[in-house]
Amino acid sequence: MFSSDAILGFLFISLICVGLMGNLVLFMLYIDTFLTQSCLKKPIDVIFIHLTLVNVLTILFKMMPDVMSFFGERYFLDDVGCKATLYLYRVTRGLSICTTAFLSVFQAITINPLNSKWAWLKSKLSMCIYPSFLFFWVINLLIYIHIIETVRARNNFTFAGPGYYTVHCQTSQLEHHYSMAFLNAMVIRDLFFVILMMWSSIYMVTLLYKHRQRSQHVHSLSLSPQSSPEIKATHTILLLVGCFVFFYCLNDFIAFYLFYLPKKNPEMERITAIISSCYPSLCPFVLMKNKLSKLTSFLSRMTITFSQRTFSR
């Protein structure tokens, strides 16, 4: 029989391998499109590239330290290591929220009808991408400065009392008004982007429903219309948003439960780490759903190139 630590360790390592492989393959696929098939690139591809990079950083800064605990390295990080890894993880997690919401809004405006009141935004979309990224980075870097002041290495693994804990790190007490300002800023940001995500998703579902109703009137029953690339991309983004909201809400629910738990439970903390890493690990495979032909072509070209270099030696 396998112990619970062995099972959780296997899940951790599997998620890291699957998540890193999926995100890196997707990243190379988009870069290949930009370099060799520039006629096929779209402005939204830049958002996908940013999201894959954020996912890779989230997996590295969240899961790599936690994996060490399964090999008995409980004191793997010192105070500086805890501050750095937890700060960067929270920043990349915040960037994931912002980028997913931005992706959802971007697609909602892209598929907007020309006679809609939001149609004027279409021509300005591509110019908003890089300023939006800069805004996301700045706001998340500023919000989580609080972590640098409060986080330290964990030296008591059965501490009783409320507080934020990971396998290696814990928060120290700070003045109440600083803690409240940090929590308020984080909650306001999360609520804003999650509401934006949900609003744009509902809007896209409404547009898709109207499109389907219109198609049923135009096409006969014997001719089933093929979905356009924009419609397929919209379905993918809706699925992506659904996955994000599910894992985000589940992770926050467990995190709040652990925050007020009198006695800390290491296994629950590890389960929380796994749940928080599910979205960045599964995200690339959701995005690859509509890119199987491109992925196959890219992998075959990579194989041919590798074979030619091998035989030419």
pLDDT for 33 equals 78
Q: Which residues contact 270 (CB under 8 A, 6 or more apart)?
A: 8, 12, 66, 69, 167
The full DSSP string for 129-177 is HHHHHHHHHHHHHHHTHHHHHHEEE---TT-BSS--B-SSEEEPP--HH
Cα separation values, 157 from 62, 154, 273, Å: 19, 7, 16
Asked whether residue 44 is domain-assigned, the answer is yes
Domain contains 45:
yes
Distance of alpha carbon 286 from alpha carbon 22, whole angstroms: 10
Q: Count how many Cα atoms sit within 13 Å of the Cα of residue 148 in the half-sphere of its side chain.
A: 8
Q: 8 lies in a domain?
A: no
* Residues belonging to the chain: 313
Q: Which CATH number covers residue 88?
A: 1.20.1070.10
Domain-located, residue 178: yes
Q: Does pLDDT of 180 surpass 80? A: no
Asked whether residue 143 carries a pLDDT value surpassing 70, the answer given is yes
Confidence of residue 49 (pLDDT cuts 50, 70, 90): very high
Query: Looking at the domain assignment, is residue 311 inside a domain?
Result: no
**Bridge partners of 171?**
151
Q: Which domain holds residue 173?
A: 14-216+227-302
Among the listed residues 63, 90, 96, the one whose alpha carbon sits nearest the alpha carbon of residue 145? 90
What's the rounded Cα separation, in Å, for the pair 207 and 172? 49
Q: pLDDT tens for residues 116-131? A: 777 777 778 888 999 9
- Can you give the pTM of this predicted structure? 0.82
Residue 3 lies in a domain: no
Domain count, the chain: 1
| Residue 111 forms part of a structural domain | yes
Residue 312 lies in a domain: no
User: Residues 75-79: what's their mean pLDDT?
Assistant: 71
Categorize the per-residue pLDDT at 227 as very low, low, confident or very high, splitting at 50, 70 and 90. Answer: low
